[in-house]
Amino acid sequence: MTQDSHTSAIRERMRALEREIARHDELYHKYARPEVSDAEFDALFTELRALEEAHPGLASPDSPTLRVGNDLVNDLPEAEHTIPVLSLDKCYSGADIAAWIAKTARADGQALSFVLEEKLDGASIVLYYEDGILTRAVTRGNGRIGNDVTANARTIRGIPLALARPVTLAVRGEIFMRRENFARYNESAGGVYVNPRNLAAGTLRSVRSSAVAHVPLEFFAYEGFFEDSALDRHSAILAELAALGFPINPASGLYSEDASLQAWARETFPEWRVGDPAAIMQAVGDAQAARANLAYDIDGLVLKVNEIEARVRLGYTAHHPRWAIAYKFESPQAVTRLLSITVQVGRNGRITPVAELEPVAVSGSTIARATLHNEDYIRQLELAAGDMVAISRRGDVIPAVDRVIEKAETAEGALVWTMPPACPCCGTGLVQRGAHHFCLNRDCCDRLVGRLAHFAGKAGLDIEGLGGKTLLLAFEKDLVRHPSDIFTADWTRLVDMDGFGEKRVANIMQGIEAARSRPFAQVLSALGFESIGPSLAELLINAGFTSAAKIIERAREGDWEVFAATEGLAEQSARQIVHEFSDPRNLAELEALARAGLCMENAENKGAEYAQSMQGQRWCVTGSFEHYNPRDLAMDEVKKRGGAVISGVSSKTTHLLAGTGAGSKLQKAKDLGVRIVREDEFMEML
Ligand code: IVH
């Protein structure tokens, strides 16, 4: 074989592999009907990559191997834009749009045509092509400088790696994700993403491009900037972009008085809405109405002057073109500056980042702080101190930071806040569990003070006069460290300290005395265990766990299933209860609280009205009963006598109470030799 024929054989093989891979890729991703196994697909891929490495000169600029990305950590270098990346002027009402059309048409004198596009709610990107090859993909950044995300952009299927012709141009467009894909992806990711936009934006900046390749992102191009071109209309530019291989949003429209232009648009973009400029307002209304049912999120519409010559004449302000306007469906609640992000350490060690905001009025009250939940949330919003942010009240109550309106420009470029490595209070290294970070030091001051404040606060014993500030002072003066100290501390030591007179201290002591007789349910939730809030405390007591001793006993046996049998109590909480009620430090604190005279048993069950005849037994109840209807009544009888009720039959089950219609559980109990008790026998036992 000659050198030439050898080379051409290799080239042919490479092209064949490319075609094969592209076909399987389409079958897999577009039609969800793969014809080959993952391993076979990988083999094709590996062969192509090996050939490319051996013969780089023969590799295609748009080879599918470029889409896979790599696992190298890109630190997202900065890149300067070579086109001005401006944003759009906004308006919030139909009247504003109508006024803009009138003004724009007037300013120009001639009859203009318009293109109406969806304002996609995703991540903005600029793609740079040289001689038809994608060379750089850059985020909008501050409009002058953005982040170079080329490796990530290459993995997004809608972005052409090589164009149909060797043109040099820049293309602006939006990276977005369909709602359906978002839901599926977010579910598999444990539901950590707030919305498709945050996921798209976060993914685009991901440092692992191989991870990006797995996220179902899509792309629509909406502006083209050719190096040299005679195209005189935006609609013609979009048609050219489509011909070059870019996806163009079919849900757009062209509005012109010119019948031949209308005819051209109908032919070129059959899915577009085409009409007279007088029809624009109708289209705007229709789009707004259809918004909820769209396959992806849009946050408004963009109306653009179509004639390039008119665009040039209309020109720009410092920030946006005068030839386009964004119509936003919802007005922002308020915009303010994010001064800093602080972190709070919760009583159980959970770290919560908090936005410290320049105070701003939102629906009637001033907001200066808002929770930012966790680091993921901040990363998705791409937040950093100095950014201008949109603030709203979620459900009209809780203040929330919705999105960045304008990134702060810093010497180091556009930054995103990251979680400090150590607890700001005690310096212990933070540990990540799921989406949250934790300080695991139980002697961390913030954790101790948080626990005290919870214990004395509204969700706890609600001790009058003992607010967070007083407790902090008492903690700093070594008066109290653990909740039980509240009952033994010498509070008179506070007298004459920052505004504490004798009377005020006497009030505190009175409040503490009154709290000694709070019911058991309140004591349970005051403990501040992760597992037990006020409603769960009630739930446990109603399920028969009527004293601390009973809970501790079950927990000591590691018996989470008896807790999980309580309706409304998830397995996770059941395991947590076992964990927290068998922890030696928690047990010591419980003992100290009991010594302080706190109520450790539910008052109604006091005095052991019932002999604990079912102590140690594990009952399962199935079928229906004549006297115990609903059958919870039978379960209550068991619990009152110290027995445990569980939902399933297992080898640990000691009794099965079987009513009429008992089915598989009865069979299983028989198989396992579990004692079977019928209703009349049960009543006798009681
Ligand atoms: S045109 C110079 N068209 O909206 C005009 N922008 O502030 C360039 N956007 O961040 C923008 N859909 O990412 C244009 N069909 C569309 C758009 C669109 C979404 C975003 C864009 C930019 C913001 C404008």
Secondary-structure class of domain 334-441 per CATH = mainly beta
| Nearest residue (CA) to ligand 1, atom 2 | 86
Q: Is 222 in the pocket of ligand 1 (CB under 6 A)?
A: yes
Alpha carbons 181 and 122: distance in angstroms, whole number = 14
In testing the pocket of ligand 1, which one of 222, 248, 327 has its CB within 8 Å of the most ligand atoms? 222
Q: Hey, is 114 helix, strand or coil?
A: strand
- pLDDT one-digit tens code per residue, 191-200: 667 778 878 9
Ligand 1 atom nearest to CA at 84 = 2
Ligand 1 atom nearest to CA at 320 = 2
Place of tokens 């403990």: 527
β-pair type (169-176, 218-226) = antiparallel
- What is the pLDDT averaged over residues 300-306? 97
C-alpha closest to that of 171 among 115, 136, 126: 126
Neighbour count for residue 538 (Cβ, 10 Å): 15
Handedness of CA 521, 524, 526, 530 (dihedral sign): negative
Q: Is 321 in the pocket of ligand 1 (CB under 6 A)?
A: yes
Q: Hey, is 66 helix, strand or coil?
A: helix
β-pair type (350-362, 436-438) = antiparallel
Ligand 1 atom nearest to CA at 140 = 10
CB 657 within 8 A of CB 673: no
Q: For position 302, what pLDDT does the model report? A: 98
13 token code pair? 């093989």
Highest mean pLDDT among 14-28, 222-236, 527-541, 632-646: 222-236
Ligand 1 atom nearest to CA at 223 = 1
Question: Is residue 139 very low, low, confident or very high in pLDDT (cuts 50, 70, 90)?
Answer: very high
How far, in Å, from the CA of 428 to the mean position of ligand 1?
45
Alpha helices, DSSP H, located in 409-467 = 445-456
Check if 119 is active-site: yes
β-pair type (436-438, 431-433) = antiparallel
Alpha carbons 154 and 61: distance in angstroms, whole number = 11
From the centroid of its chain, how far is CA 203? 13
218 to 84, 214, 251, 642: CA distances (angstroms): 24, 12, 15, 60
How far, in Å, from the CA of 119 to the mean position of ligand 1?
6
How far, in Å, from the CA of 628 to the mean position of ligand 1?
66
C-alpha closest to that of 223 among 235, 209, 205: 235
Q: Is 174 in the pocket of ligand 1 (CB under 6 A)?
A: yes
CB 86 within 8 A of CB 158: no
Q: Hey, is 431 helix, strand or coil?
A: strand
- Helical (H) or strand (E) element with 147: strand 145-147
- All CATH 2.40.50.140 domain ranges in the chain, comma separated: 334-441
Highest mean pLDDT among 242-246, 495-499, 515-519, 570-574: 242-246
Q: Whole-number mean pLDDT of the chain? A: 88
Alpha carbons 304 and 94: distance in angstroms, whole number = 15
Q: Is 125 in the pocket of ligand 1 (CB under 6 A)?
A: no
358 token code pair? 């320049």
Place of tokens 């070579």: 82
Residues whose CB is less than 8 angstroms from the CB of residue 475 and which lie 6 or more positions away in sequence, other chains included: 445, 448, 449, 452, 481
Per the model's pLDDT, the better-predicted residue between 651 and 325 turns out to be 325
Q: Is 140 in the pocket of ligand 1 (CB under 6 A)?
A: yes
Ligand 1 atom nearest to CA at 173 = 13
How far, in Å, from the CA of 198 to the mean position of ligand 1?
16
How far, in Å, from the CA of 607 to the mean position of ligand 1?
72
CB 605 within 8 A of CB 547: yes
Does residue 637 carry a pLDDT above 60? yes
Q: For position 75, what pLDDT does the model report? A: 59
- Alpha carbon distance, N-terminus to C-terminus of the chain: 97
Q: Hey, is 123 helix, strand or coil?
A: strand
Provide the CATH topology of domain 89-328: D-amino Acid Aminotransferase; Chain A, domain 1 (3.30.470)
Q: Supply the pTM of this predicted model.
A: 0.49
- All CATH 3.40.50.10190 domain ranges in the chain, comma separated: 618-685
Does residue 242 carry a pLDDT above 70? yes
Q: For position 678, what pLDDT does the model report? A: 92
Q: Is 120 in the pocket of ligand 1 (CB under 6 A)?
A: yes
Alpha carbons 390 and 410: distance in angstroms, whole number = 20
| Nearest residue (CA) to ligand 1, atom 13 | 124
Q: Is 302 in the pocket of ligand 1 (CB under 6 A)?
A: yes
Secondary-structure class of domain 520-605 per CATH = mainly alpha
In testing the pocket of ligand 1, which one of 83, 87, 308 has its CB within 8 Å of the most ligand atoms? 87
| Nearest residue (CA) to ligand 1, atom 16 | 119
CB 520 within 8 A of CB 547: yes
Q: Is 124 in the pocket of ligand 1 (CB under 6 A)?
A: yes
Residues whose CB is less than 8 angstroms from the CB of residue 506 and which lie 6 or more positions away in sequence, other chains included: none
Report DSSP letters for 211-239, one per residue.
Answer: HHTTS--EEEEEEEEESS----BHHHHHH
| Nearest residue (CA) to ligand 1, atom 10 | 124
CATH number of 3-68: 1.10.287.610
Out of 30, 90, 119, 665, which one is annotated catalytic? 119
Q: Is 522 in the pocket of ligand 1 (CB under 6 A)?
A: no
Place of tokens 């040289």: 130
Ligand 1 atom nearest to CA at 249 = 15
Domain 445-515: CATH superfamily, name plus number: 5' to 3' exonuclease, C-terminal subdomain (1.10.150.20)
Place of tokens 């012109």: 256
CB 47 within 8 A of CB 16: no
Highest mean pLDDT among 70-79, 434-443, 606-615: 434-443
- All CATH 3.30.470.30 domain ranges in the chain, comma separated: 89-328
Residues whose CB is less than 8 angstroms from the CB of residue 517 and which lie 6 or more positions away in sequence, other chains included: 599
How far, in Å, from the CA of 418 to the mean position of ligand 1?
28
CA atoms within 13 A on the CB side of 528: 25
Does residue 613 carry a pLDDT above 60? yes
Report DSSP letters for 316-360, one per residue.
Answer: B-SSSBTTEEEEESS--SEEEEEEEEEEEE-TTSEEEEEEEEEEE
- All CATH 1.10.287.610 domain ranges in the chain, comma separated: 3-68
Does residue 558 carry a pLDDT above 60? yes
- What is the pLDDT averaged over residues 217-243? 95
592 token code pair? 């100290």
- What is the pLDDT averaged over residues 193-218? 82
- All CATH 1.10.150.20 domain ranges in the chain, comma separated: 445-515, 520-605
How far, in Å, from the CA of 345 to the mean position of ligand 1?
40
Question: Is residue 607 very low, low, confident or very high in pLDDT (cuts 50, 70, 90)?
Answer: very low
- pLDDT one-digit tens code per residue, 370-412: 989 899 889 888 899 999 998 876 544 568 898 898 888 877 7
In testing the pocket of ligand 1, which one of 172, 254, 323 has its CB within 8 Å of the most ligand atoms? 172
Q: For position 363, what pLDDT does the model report? A: 60
| Nearest residue (CA) to ligand 1, atom 6 | 119
Q: For position 389, what pLDDT does the model report? A: 93
Q: Is 104 in the pocket of ligand 1 (CB under 6 A)?
A: no
Ligand 1 atom nearest to CA at 252 = 15
Ligand 1 atom nearest to CA at 123 = 13
Q: For position 186, what pLDDT does the model report? A: 81
Domain 618-685: CATH superfamily, name plus number: BRCT domain (3.40.50.10190)
How far, in Å, from the CA of 557 to the mean position of ligand 1?
61
Q: Is 117 in the pocket of ligand 1 (CB under 6 A)?
A: yes
Alpha carbons 508 and 53: distance in angstroms, whole number = 78
| 109 φψ region: left (φ > 0), alpha (ψ -120 to 50), beta (else) | left
Does residue 291 carry a pLDDT above 90? no
